[in-house]
């Protein structure tokens, strides 16, 4: 009965993850860098999109972390790719400078540090499970994720928390960070453009 219940939960969680990804793909428009002096999205509407994107990101990770780590091995490649995509949006939400966008509140709503630590802990916990010790991909993924965390910490630290005062303020271009395309190993994050400056990790 417990096994059936667990399977049911994982299936439901997977469906919810896809639903939140659809939401993110809609609301991420608020993160797009507008052309100088010609923003097609009104400021108030962009803030609505950003708030909705933040809430969808928070909901995505709440569902993802409800899945037992032992079930990660059965998750589809698209789910791992969506995780990479969600982590990319999380970073952008924590560094975006836009009038009215409260970075302090955004970072408090979903703590990137806690999120990365939780993911790293889950990946590392798999190494101790029977049968998983032969799957080196999880230990390497945990090492890569630690480097990703350091990368995000540096990006976040470089952006002041104080909100921008006007549309004319300079908006730094941190570039776009797509999800992993090459999923030979679950987390080929180092192949992604958004982490191209992270030094390789030796197994």
**Alpha carbons 15 and 21: distance in angstroms, whole number:** 10
Once rounded to an integer, what is the mean pLDDT over residues 155-163? 78
Once rounded to an integer, what is the mean pLDDT over residues 178-194? 37
| DSSP letter assigned to residue 200 | P
* SS3 assignment, position 38: coil
| DSSP letter assigned to residue 161 | S
Structural domain spans, the chain: 2-195
User: Residues 17-44: pLDDT tens digits?
Assistant: 999 999 999 999 888 876 666 777 778 8
**Alpha carbons 20 and 61: distance in angstroms, whole number:** 9
pLDDT band of residue 195 (cuts 50, 70, 90) is very low
Q: Is the pLDDT of residue 81 over 90?
A: no
- 134, two tokens: 């032969």
Distances (CA, A) of 97 to 17, 39, 111: 27, 15, 17
Closest CA to 147 of 126, 123, 172, 120: 120
- Confidence (pTM): 0.75
Closest CA to 24 of 142, 178, 173: 178
| DSSP letter assigned to residue 184 | S
Q: What is the pLDDT of residue 80?
A: 84
Using a 10 angstrom Cβ sphere, with 0-12 exposed, 13-18 middle and 19 or more buried, the burial of residue 134 is exposed
Nearby residues of 79 by Cβ (< 8 Å), 6 or more positions away? 14, 17
Report yes or no: 90 and 155 within 8 Å, Cβ to Cβ: no
Rg (CA), the chain: 18
């Amino acid at each position: 009965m417990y096994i059936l219940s667990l399977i049911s939960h994982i299936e439901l969680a997977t469906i919810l993850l896809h639903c939140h990804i659809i939401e993110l793909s809609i609301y991420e428009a608020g993160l797009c860098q507008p052309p100088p002096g010609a923003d097609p999205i009104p400021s108030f509407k962009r803030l609505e999109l950003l708030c909705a994107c933040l809430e969808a990101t928070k909901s995505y990770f709440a569902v993802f972390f409800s899945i037992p780590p032992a079930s990660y091995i059965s998750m589809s490649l698209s789910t791992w790719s969506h995780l990479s995509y969600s982590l990319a949006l999380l970073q952008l939400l924590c560094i975006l400078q836009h009038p009215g966008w409260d970075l302090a509140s955004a970072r408090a709503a979903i703590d990137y540090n806690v999120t990365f630590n939780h993911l790293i802990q889950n990946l590392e916990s798999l190494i101790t499970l029977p049968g998983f010790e032969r799957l080196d991909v999880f230990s390497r993924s945990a090492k890569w994720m630690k480097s990703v965390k350091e990368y995000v910490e540096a990006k976040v630290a470089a952006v002041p928390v104080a909100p921008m005062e006007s549309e004319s303020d300079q908006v730094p271009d941190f570039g776009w960070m797509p999800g992993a395309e090459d999923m030979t190993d679950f987390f080929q994050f180092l192949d992604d453009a958004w982490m191209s400056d992270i030094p390789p990790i030796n197994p």
